[in-house]
Structure 1
Amino acid sequence: MQCVTFTAIGPAELLHRLQARGSAAAVSPITHIERMPARAGRAAPWPTWTDPAVRDAFIAQGIAAPWEHQAAAATLAWEGTHVVLATGTASGKSLAYQLPALNALARDPKATVLYLSPTKALAADQLRGIVRLGVDRVRPATYDGDTPREEREWVRQHARFILTNPDMLHHSMLPGHARWGVFLRRLSYVVVDECHTYRGVFGSHVAHVLRRLRRAAARYGSSPTFVLASATSGDPAGTASRLVGLPVTAVTEDASPRGAVTFALWEPPLLPASTLSLPSASTLPSASSLPPTPSLPSASALPSALSLPKQPSRADAAPVAADLAGSDPAVASADSDPAAFGDFVDVELPPIRRSALRETADLLADAVAAGTRTLAFVRSRRGAEVVATMTRRALDEAVPGLGERVAAYRAGYLREDRRAIERALLSGELLALASTNALELGVDLVGLDAVLICGYPGTRASLWQQAGRAGRAGGEALAVLIARDDPLDTYLVHHPEAVFGRPVEATVLDPSNPYVLGPQLCCAASEAPLTQADLDLFGGPEAAAAVRALTEEGALRRRPSGWYWTHRGRPEVDLRGTGGSPVAVVESSTGRLLGTVDPGSSHVMLHAGAVYLHQGVSYVVDELDLEDGVALVHQEEPDWSTHARDVTNLSVVSVSSYVDAGPVGLFFGEVDVTNQVVSYQRRRISTGEVIDTRPLDLPVRELRTMAVWFTVSPDALVAAGVEPADFPGALHAAEHAGIGLLPLIATCDRWDIGGLSTANHADTEAPTVFVYDGHPGGAGFAERAYNTAAEWLTATREAIAACVCEAGCPSCVQSPKCGNGNNPLNKADAVKVLDTVLTALPPQ
């Protein structure tokens, strides 16, 4: 690596340079700057029950005394009270659970402690911290999928402080509880770190895994104290209680010191206006009458305004007009034969913004060039790879070799690759990372000066977690939120009070979800027969009803001693809802394993012909074998990117609750959703031009879930000024914006939800907009939307109306993953639809 010498600058000077960089634009990209002053800490004496050896170990690490919140939470835990500590990033939550846990191990040579984290990286980081303390006879060890099999037996027999994750507890430790009997019999504390991440279906599964742990521990005679750590969140005590099934006391007042933080909201500038030569109005067919995209089902075969589960924007998403010009045979032929349509006119295309990925890469390059240690959070794995690649190229063009100090970091990397990157960042060999939220959680990244957040991460809790990665050594920090061309991001950068003036969300989880409860009861029964007392543990009446249904189905069998699992093997239950085992990405020519992709993403990321990015290197997929879980790829640097296209259908199963508001109906209930990836587009990287659309033959996926939907009578829409021919475009636009704004209300992001709209749905017999949870049985997001419909739809209406575009753009009503290619859309009429709904709905 070439040695490059430069002088590092502070966060304040970096923001000044970034502002200067954007000063050439007509409008400053910075829409708001929030300055949070430094805060002094409030220390407390070491609790009287602290073992001298444990206290001295912390003092040797430079911790002279705990902060008040650390001492308060640790004392509650030591006294046997289940406690959750919900304070800010870098507030020292680790000490609050390490102090009672290590004391228990020091006082009782037989005691054990179990630590659970949502990620392997966090568990590995915690292990390093415990090892540094050097307390005698603790014998800490990680036990996860990366632990070599030859080491697992030693961990089971000798480790006293085991660091693992809910997946390993579910798949290995609880099914094999007999082998873990000694450890469980001596279990004193269970630490649940970053518990705010256990939300939706994943959180509901983890809630039952923890109940199964309590059941197994009781079987061997122990009743451990639970200590939970969380980012600041709404109702931490209630959420923690639902998670563990026990009353939990919350400690929320943060007494730790904090350096000054400057938080900037950044909206990428509009690109220069461009024009497209089109036939004159007298000869050009309307957009709605253009032929459908080749290789996709025709519009007549689909609901009139079909839409799909939404995903974050792609860096090279092309504007709609470019999609039509590049894929429609009529327009293409006009380019070669002007007489085909008669006179041509130059039409100015709708303005589009510079992509957030490109903007983030440029800002990251500026930060590295200034010597500022920076972490860029990017929403998708592909996005993290793209940002790292663009940053390296820009730096190498300026200073050859400097690009080597930037890397990507994401899930799916092999263990050795992840650990090498972590070490290089901590040592200073790397100056910057472009990472997914894999580094959002409490990994101690001391020395970072700035954080760039490429796109709102979905919740305010995640936003502050990511921003808190900077300044962890107590110094001044800079955080910049770079808005994607997306309704929610656009809304937030122009409504800073929605970011800085509101508390973080309460975590949504529902252990009574039948799609979670039934499989988890099967898991529990396979570990030991279920008793009546167990049914109370797992939910009371809901658990009893689920057991009756499972018994009728033959999954369980009733005996005098309880309900028994009837099958030989263990139940196959996926906690994270990824759809099974990951798909291995293998290089065809060498057989080398590059990484893995979860099954839920494989149809989109690894279909035949897809471009797959890995550590800055492009590969093209030769074959996707879903049965064997393998994608074969070869290295190639094409000048195009790939974008999967899918279609969705929805039918109503039942209505759980509804509001009759005259011409408007608001509903919450169960729906069936079918989805299939049917084709993919190849788009020119340099221009976004659609090269072609190629068909795919992938299986249909079926989902029974919960949805919120509203209906509007045709007469009410006509009275509002929406003509029947414009119903599809108006509802379609309202649906896109509603999905984009729902994360403002619920603890979800666009990956968690999907939607569909139609001018006349077969089940409702009316114009209808659906928004549904993207998880079997629902995840609580649609229910939250139903209960706060007025707030949600008001924010949606404001976001559409406030956008400066004329006909709709990605900042308000366009979606990069729309199955109908964002056609039809009617921005103005979407506002009329929402006005009609909001006027009719009663205040909440």
Structure 2
Amino acid sequence: MNIDDLIIYNKTIPKREAKYADFPSNLSQELCGYLSEKGIDKLYCHQAEMFEKSMERNNIVITTSTASGKTLSFLLPVINEILSNPLARAVFIYPTKALASDQYRAILPYLEYFGDNRISAGVYDGDTTVNERSRIRKNANIILTNPEMINAAFLPNHSKFGFDFIFSNLKYVVIDELHTYRGAFGSHVANVFRRLGRICRYYNSSPQYLCSSATIANPVELAEEICGQKFIRVDKDGSPAAKRKYMLVQPPKIMGNDKKYYGQVQTTTVAADLIPDLVENDNSFIAFAKSRRNVEVVLKESRDKLETENFFGASLADKISGYRGGYTPLERKEIENKMITGVLRGLISTNALELGIDIGKIDTTVIVGYPGTRASFWQQTGRAGRSGSECTNYLILDGLPFDQYIGVNPDWLFKSGSENAVIDKNNLLIELAHIRAAAAEIPLTLDDISIFPDLGETIPVLIRAKELINQSGKFAWSGNSFPAGDFSLRNIDKFRYKLINKENNKEVTEMDEMQAFREIHNGAIYMHDGIQYQVIKLDLESKTAFCIPFNGNYYTMPGANTDIRIIQGNKEMEYSRVKVAFGDVNVNEVVYMYKKLQFHNHQNLGFEHLEKPLSKDFDTESTWIRIPDNVVMVYRRLLQESQNGMIIRNNHFEGLCYAVKNAAMMSTMTEQEDMGVVMSNNAIEISENFNDEVYMFVYDKYIGGLGYAEKVFDLTAQIVEAAIKMVGGCKCEGGCAACIGDYKLDKAMVLWGLKNLLEEIEAPKGIKLIEYAPSTFIKKQFQFNELKEKWQEFCEYMQENGDSFAKFLSTITEVEIDNRTLTLVLQNAFYKEWAMEETNRKSIINIISFHTDAPSGLQLKVRLEDTADDRKNVKNKLQRRYEDLVE
């Protein structure tokens, strides 16, 4: 396909001239001399402004464009201080090790000019040798590091190894790429800075904070949330910019023989057609894909085309490479060097290269699907044209609402402001992790409640767990573990899984549990640097998956089912004709199957069910919206069951969820993996008289929640109205993957359902309703209301299936069912206490819900059976032998 034929919009941003300012009067003459020697006789106006504001002891966040000289903006005040105070220390914090190493290269000219006796610097991370770490702690004025090292090395060891000198003389803390600190990562980092501030106060230091950020809607708010200090903003950009071209690319439509629209060609396919042309034209480029899987798909398909096109000549397939998380640091460094030296012409990357890592001069970017936020779009396209030369940027529009909305309304992308970055530093699990770490650094006092809001509730729990001891009103750490090493800053889930190549026993990659269940389940095809591996076994106990190289022509996508149970509501409101609530929920995500998709044409080659489904259970926050009864009844009577009874078709509840999720993501700075939207399971119950309330849940995909769902609660009106506009404004005739997620659904019915959230409207005329709805999305093996009679059969099935708790449940001979409550009749008080322990109770509820058509909001109760003689005999024996243990 010819890319020029697919361009539906182009925009040229003209060259921008620089705006200069003289050197500030309080900039040291030595530093002025260095700048003049480097050919810099004036500063950009924002650089001068930042220096002057910093001299007034302001904490500053700078938000000028990419390649605008932000590094020099925060280097000048730091080096100016060091030249006048040789004992001064500054810590530069970067979100990745690669970026810290890259920025160290930018500081080297200063070190060479002034000499080690005036300024010393070093990169302090997990790859730094012991001797180099010692040198840096002792001598370095500027320490470049990452949040993980602050968390696990600097703070826990503040009183030894020379860290006490660093904290006592800490003048500046510089945070680059501030906008990346959002979600779980940002919430953790905010707590790291709570602890950092606590340590600085202990050493009577009060560092000044200098931050740089991409353009987001709330940079000052984010900086203040992360650092716990007041900030001002510098945003008047004085840097020049080259002429920049932007092309919106719409993939070809897929039309059926019936002349109906069945979606569009995959963005990965279009990218794989464009990239060989860029290679052959000797362009230097980055192609950004939205997932690790898409990186590998684009890389493989592009290399295949380059191999084919150069069949009679030298292959250019080795001129491109992948770049993403999962590659080793050594692999990434080698790839970066090959780009800088010109060995490679282009990279296919995740947003790992969105940050300012130096990979040489780039003249083209290809964005394979809108990245989800305007901030990311400008960061990614900003990688091209940094040398001052004209550049071209392609955005290949995916068949998703964001992308198609941009295709119709490009001004939304080019003229509107950016989104808000959201964190929740008071997430209880995150805060608890850092309270434990803080206690091990310096004993806690009740004064620390100003830092950690939940300290009063947390201290008694930690004392009972014997992790804290009260020492005259100070609470010192008494646990055995190293608390700062008990968690990952990048996510809340502490469980990590490894993928091992069984042929050579080498590690391919590592990931968290939720990602593992989706990407390295049995039978999954996992791709790494264009090489395919087939997972042959996932061992849950050792948290290890084993794989072998694979040469097949397909990749896999997981299929999952999600059950949600309300724990408690925290606030609610009436919105138009629906009730909206926000609170705590329990989510049980079950990966039960996967589909095989052929490379190049992405044809579905079939489904495979997992022998044992993989279940991830966690508590989080959610907003839930009650769906009006008239919508529920009509949608239920539109449902159709597949021939094998395994799949429900024509499920307009899913279209409703799809539209609301994308509107919610557009209104918040979230991505697919941040937020989930599902209906309560009773949405597609079989009974015509079923009168349970049906809810749509918008939940955070993180343990404990991160504030996204609460933001949805606050923006409910905006989100519903945006969903109506996105569906109603789509160019398709009857519904497509872009607006409602499935071209087989009726767009008019989804739009009708959305509008009914605002006011009651009669259903469209002429719709065909069936008499009843099938029972569930996945046909369940057992009916909940028949469990009392079929309990033993149910238990035998669970044992055969290998479910946890199956053996325990098999010891129960009697159960009772009353509406949505299941009561287990147990033999003794210990079993009762054990079954009602929160983790066990939730697991039992999830097992029952997975294998039966249990109603939404299933409740579990237990009672003791009448004491039988044999139980008395057992107790008597125990009493005779252990009278001090058994009452």
TM-score bracket, normalised by the shorter chain, equals 0.7 to 0.9
The C-alpha deviation readout for 1:106-138, integer Å capped at 9, x for no partner, is: 222222111111112211110111113324233
Match of 1:771 in 2: 698
Match of 1:219 in 2: 202
Aligned mates of 1:699, 1:722 — CA distance in 2:
30
**Match of 2:698, SS?**
strand
Aligned mates of 2:423, 2:576 — CA distance in 1:
33
1:738 matched to 2:660? The reply is: yes
Aligned mates of 1:548, 1:84 — CA distance in 2:
39
Q: Which amino acid aligns with 1:838?
A: L
The match for 2:276 among 365, 385, 400 is 365
1:165 matched to 2:146? The reply is: yes
What stretches of structure 1 of length at least 5 have no aligned partner? 1-17, 24-28, 276-346, 816-821
Q: Spell out the pairing of 1:812-827 with structure 2 (5 A cutoff).
A: 812-814=739-741, 825-827=745-747
TM superposition shift of 1:696 = 4.2
Aligned mates of 1:72, 1:100 — CA distance in 2:
11
Q: Spell out the pairing of 1:484-563 with structure 2 (5 A cutoff).
A: 484-539=398-453, 542-547=454-459, 550-551=462-463, 555-563=467-475
The match for 2:83 among 99, 102, 106 is 106
Q: Which amino acid aligns with 2:702?
A: H
TM superposition shift of 1:475 = 2.1
**Match of 2:570, SS?**
strand
The match for 1:140 among 121, 124, 133 is 121
Contact 1:731 1:758 in 2 (8 A): no
Aligned mates of 2:512, 2:107 — CA distance in 1:
32
TM superposition shift of 1:764 = 10
1:788 matched to 2:710? The reply is: no
Instruction: Say if 1:581 and 1:655 are closer, same or farther in 2 by CA, change over 3 A.
Output: closer
TM superposition shift of 1:697 = 2.7
The match for 2:287 among 360, 376, 391 is 376
Match of 2:622 in 1: 707
Instruction: Say if 1:258 and 1:662 are closer, same or farther in 2 by CA, change over 3 A.
Output: closer
1:619 matched to 2:600? The reply is: no
Aligned mates of 2:473, 2:80 — CA distance in 1:
39
**Match of 1:703, SS?**
strand
Structure showing greater Rg = 2
Instruction: Say if 1:61 and 1:633 are closer, same or farther in 2 by CA, change over 3 A.
Output: farther
Contact 1:518 1:547 in 2 (8 A): no
The match for 1:682 among 567, 574, 596 is 596
Match of 1:459 in 2: 373
Contact 1:360 1:452 in 2 (8 A): yes
Q: Spell out the pairing of 1:296-445 with structure 2 (5 A cutoff).
A: 351-399=262-310, 400-445=314-359
The C-alpha deviation readout for 1:73-118, integer Å capped at 9, x for no partner, is: 1232233221111111111111111111122222222221111111
TM superposition shift of 1:192 = 0.7
Contact 1:790 1:838 in 2 (8 A): no
Aligned mates of 2:292, 2:270 — CA distance in 1:
17
Aligned mates of 2:470, 2:37 — CA distance in 1:
58
1:831 matched to 2:746? The reply is: no
What stretches of structure 2 of length at least 5 have no aligned partner? 641-649, 762-887
Q: Which amino acid aligns with 1:170?
A: N
Aligned mates of 1:508, 1:687 — CA distance in 2:
35
Aligned mates of 1:349, 1:81 — CA distance in 2:
61
The C-alpha deviation readout for 1:594-650, integer Å capped at 9, x for no partner, is: 333344311222222221212111122233334444333222211222222222110
**Match of 2:21, SS?**
coil
TM superposition shift of 1:194 = 0.7
Aligned mates of 1:449, 1:643 — CA distance in 2:
34
TM superposition shift of 1:592 = 2.9
**Match of 1:352, SS?**
strand
1:752 matched to 2:674? The reply is: yes
Aligned mates of 1:497, 1:708 — CA distance in 2:
31
Moved more, 794-803 or 482-491: 794-803
Contact 2:222 2:421 in 1 (8 A): yes
Aligned mates of 1:417, 1:536 — CA distance in 2:
44
Moved more, 756-765 or 243-252: 756-765
Match of 2:871 in 1: none
Aligned mates of 2:173, 2:610 — CA distance in 1:
51
Q: Which amino acid aligns with 1:740?
A: N
TM superposition shift of 1:800 = 2.0
TM superposition shift of 1:531 = 2.1
Contact 1:360 1:387 in 2 (8 A): yes
Percent of aligned positions with the same letter in both sequences? 30
Contact 1:235 1:506 in 2 (8 A): yes
**Match of 1:155, SS?**
helix
TM superposition shift of 1:783 = 1.7
Q: Give TM-score, length-normalised by structure 2.
A: 0.78
Moved more, 360-369 or 677-686: 677-686
TM superposition shift of 1:772 = 0.7
Moved more, 552-561 or 409-418: 552-561
The C-alpha deviation readout for 1:761-782, integer Å capped at 9, x for no partner, is: 6999323211111112212222
Match of 2:52 in 1: 75
Aligned mates of 2:278, 2:740 — CA distance in 1:
33
TM superposition shift of 1:197 = 1.0
The match for 1:667 among 563, 578, 581 is 581
The match for 2:551 among 637, 640, 658 is 637
Aligned mates of 1:424, 1:189 — CA distance in 2:
35
Q: Which amino acid aligns with 1:359?
A: V
Q: Spell out the pairing of 1:589-600 with structure 2 (5 A cutoff).
A: 589-600=503-514
Moved more, 193-202 or 547-556: 547-556
Aligned mates of 1:358, 1:61 — CA distance in 2:
46
The match for 2:569 among 655, 658, 661 is 655
Instruction: Say if 1:495 and 1:550 are closer, same or farther in 2 by CA, change over 3 A.
Output: farther
Q: Which amino acid aligns with 2:655?
A: A
Moved more, 726-735 or 663-672: 726-735
Aligned mates of 2:52, 2:327 — CA distance in 1:
40
Match of 2:482 in 1: 570
Aligned mates of 1:733, 1:438 — CA distance in 2:
32
The C-alpha deviation readout for 1:163-214, integer Å capped at 9, x for no partner, is: 1111221122211222221222221111011111111222111111012112
Aligned mates of 2:681, 2:446 — CA distance in 1:
50
Q: Which amino acid aligns with 1:52?
A: Q
Match of 1:46 in 2: 23
**Match of 2:534, SS?**
strand
Aligned mates of 1:30, 1:426 — CA distance in 2:
30
Contact 1:514 1:546 in 2 (8 A): no
Q: Which amino acid aligns with 2:622?
A: A
Q: Which has the higher contact order (CA 8 A, sep 6+)?
A: 1
Contact 2:430 2:492 in 1 (8 A): no
Aligned mates of 1:505, 1:692 — CA distance in 2:
38
**Match of 1:407, SS?**
strand
- How many residues align? The count is 735
Contact 2:575 2:717 in 1 (8 A): no
Aligned mates of 1:421, 1:55 — CA distance in 2:
36
Q: Which amino acid aligns with 1:269?
A: P
TM superposition shift of 1:217 = 2.0
Moved more, 586-595 or 32-41: 586-595
